[in-house]
Structure 1
Amino acid sequence: MSSLSSLTKAELRKYVDTKFQAGASRFFKEEIQVLGVRSPQVKLVAAKFWPEVKKLPKDQIFTICEELWQNGFIEETFVAINWTNRLLKKLGKADFIRFTNWIDQYVNNWASCDIFCTHAVGYLVQKYPELFTELKTWTKSKNRWFRRAAAVSLIYPLHHPFFSSKSSILPIPPTLPISLLNQVFQIADSLFSDPDNLVQKGYGWMLKEASKIWPQEIFKYVFDRRDKMPRTALRYAIEKLPKDLKLKAMSKN
């Protein structure tokens, strides 16, 4: 184990709050390992060691991150994700394989799934559009976190729909590529009848983010399917729509 991962683990344990630890698991239906460190303190620990971590080669940073993932405590995984998300401009297509393995082996709760996939994983899907086919494959996985990840990984492209030639993020233009909306609909179609509540929330969230750009298109998608769409996904999807469209979407055929 590297000295940096050991130091990070020791530093986190200085901030353990036993009262917070006792109640932290109530935010999760699945069983998780919790040290009892509040989010601001987790971020402080990540920031404290980042000046040393960022000097290392990317692969070495990922080795340290994996050591933090492996222990299973959610606060340690949050530090690993924090550092990974700081490396966006250094990420390459090959890193997607590593990230897929991390989801497969270590992700076991919605928080780790979302923080990781709405940043690092989503960035790669945005930068390398051909990786969208991998998301489609994830929708058929037996692993619920892959299925949720397939949806929430599109939230990054929805927030940052264009890159310049230097891969820096550009402002959202008035007209967005319809291919991104088509990808949203493809993922929603693939997950549409998924019985898992957390997967329904995941693709509903994706549709909600898309509705900020294409409100009429998302409304039509939901309205046309309102009698068959799981209510959890439907409620998430229409949350940001105008009130009149919400009422129509909630109506029965």
Structure 2
Amino acid sequence: MNTPSAKIVQDELARAADPEKAAFFPKFFKTGPGGYAEGDVFLGVTVPEQRRIARRYKNLSLEQVRELLRSKVHEHRFTGFVILVEQFERADEAGRGLLFAFCREHLAGMNNWDLVDTVAPRLMGEYLLEHPEHVPLLYDFARSPVLWERRIAIMATFAFIRAEDFTHTLKLAELLLHDEHDLIHKAVGWMLREVGNRNMAAEETFLDRHAGEMPRTMLRYAIEKFPPAKRKHYMTRSPSPSGRGPG
């Protein structure tokens, strides 16, 4: 049997490519001029297929994972990041620290919302939950001019939410309240909704303070599961414009 390598993973992804999806994905992920993922390249491989391949090569060396994460092809990077998450979840304390550092070195490759949403909660957030001394990194990311770092900041707090710790989600949501990008509006609203799923009072306290200044898309995501009357109550307090698109 051949030693697992980035090339073998790339070959498997190429065999799994679907030409119709290769034509659709660039539009869905906004890869055209001026899009948030301008220039990204897609083979047309479904997420379930990428995850299946990642599981098969979950023991790929970090040297070979690096080749995937540096690729211009989206599915190469996605599969590489899924392999990192798989390794992180099986690693001991020292290994988790190594993988967290490795991930931070390759943030440039985490340049679309599906990549961020796959890695930020399950690897970066989990590590920061275990190592609160490094949590200030999230606030640095939230102030970053890089869209994806700002999305990492709020999405990483999903790990904290699952642990019933809402502090950083609410603080970062406040910090990102006036962010101009639609993908941040959606991510912040999503995480506020997750807070509400576990502690409605905590979410409502935030909304009572900020609903009137929240972008409408952010607010809609946050109150999606509210009863109709309560949704109407909060929506009438938000004059901010809506965002559109996937993510």
TM-score by length of structure 2 reads 0.84
Tell me how far 1:235 sits from its aligned partner.
1.0
Which ranges in structure 2 are unaligned for 5 or more consecutive residues?
31-36, 239-247
Residue 126, structure 1, aligned to residue 129, structure 2: yes
The answer to whether the 8 Å contact 1:239/1:246 transfers is yes
- Pick from 98, 102, 113 the counterpart of residue 102 of structure 2: 98
Tell me how far 1:244 sits from its aligned partner.
3.3
- Pick from 225, 229, 237 the counterpart of residue 240 of structure 1: 225
Question: Secondary structure, in 3 states, of the residue corresponding to 2:211?
Answer: coil
What residue number does 1:70 align with?
Answer: 70
Number of equivalences: 225
1:143-169 deviation line (CA, Å, top 9, x unaligned): 11010110000112222x1xxxxxxxx
Tell me how far 1:133 sits from its aligned partner.
0.8
Question: Secondary structure, in 3 states, of the residue corresponding to 1:212?
Answer: helix
1:14-163 matched pairs, under 5 angstroms: 14-29=15-30, 30-31=37-38, 32-50=40-58, 53=59, 61-87=61-87, 88-90=89-91, 91-103=95-107, 105-159=108-162, 161=163
Amino acid of the structure 1 residue aligned with 2:203: I
Tell me how far 1:94 sits from its aligned partner.
4.9
Amino acid of the structure 2 residue aligned with 1:233: M
- In the aligned structure 2, how far is the partner of 1:95 from the partner of 1:216? 36
Amino acid of the structure 2 residue aligned with 1:10: D
Tell me how far 1:129 sits from its aligned partner.
1.7
Q: CA RMSD in A?
A: 1.9
Tell me how far 1:205 sits from its aligned partner.
1.4
Residue 204, structure 1, aligned to residue 189, structure 2: yes
The share of aligned pairs that are identical, in percent, is 24
Question: Secondary structure, in 3 states, of the residue corresponding to 2:57?
Answer: helix
Question: Secondary structure, in 3 states, of the residue corresponding to 1:34?
Answer: coil
- In the aligned structure 2, how far is the partner of 1:101 from the partner of 1:244? 47
The answer to whether the 8 Å contact 1:208/1:236 transfers is yes
Amino acid of the structure 2 residue aligned with 1:75: E
Which ranges in structure 1 are unaligned for 5 or more consecutive residues?
55-60, 162-175
- In the aligned structure 2, how far is the partner of 1:251 from the partner of 1:89? 47
- In the aligned structure 2, how far is the partner of 1:220 from the partner of 1:49? 45
- In the aligned structure 2, how far is the partner of 1:89 from the partner of 1:12? 24
Residue 185, structure 1, aligned to residue 170, structure 2: yes
The answer to whether the 8 Å contact 1:223/1:248 transfers is no
Tell me how far 1:131 sits from its aligned partner.
2.0
Change in Cα spacing, 1:232 to 1:79, as seen in structure 2 (3 Å) is: same
- In the aligned structure 2, how far is the partner of 1:92 from the partner of 1:7? 25
The answer to whether the 8 Å contact 1:219/1:238 transfers is no
Question: Secondary structure, in 3 states, of the residue corresponding to 2:106?
Answer: helix
Tell me how far 1:62 sits from its aligned partner.
2.4
TM-score by length of structure 1 reads 0.82
Tell me how far 1:223 sits from its aligned partner.
2.8
Stretch moving more, 144-153 or 118-127: 118-127
Tell me how far 1:225 sits from its aligned partner.
1.5
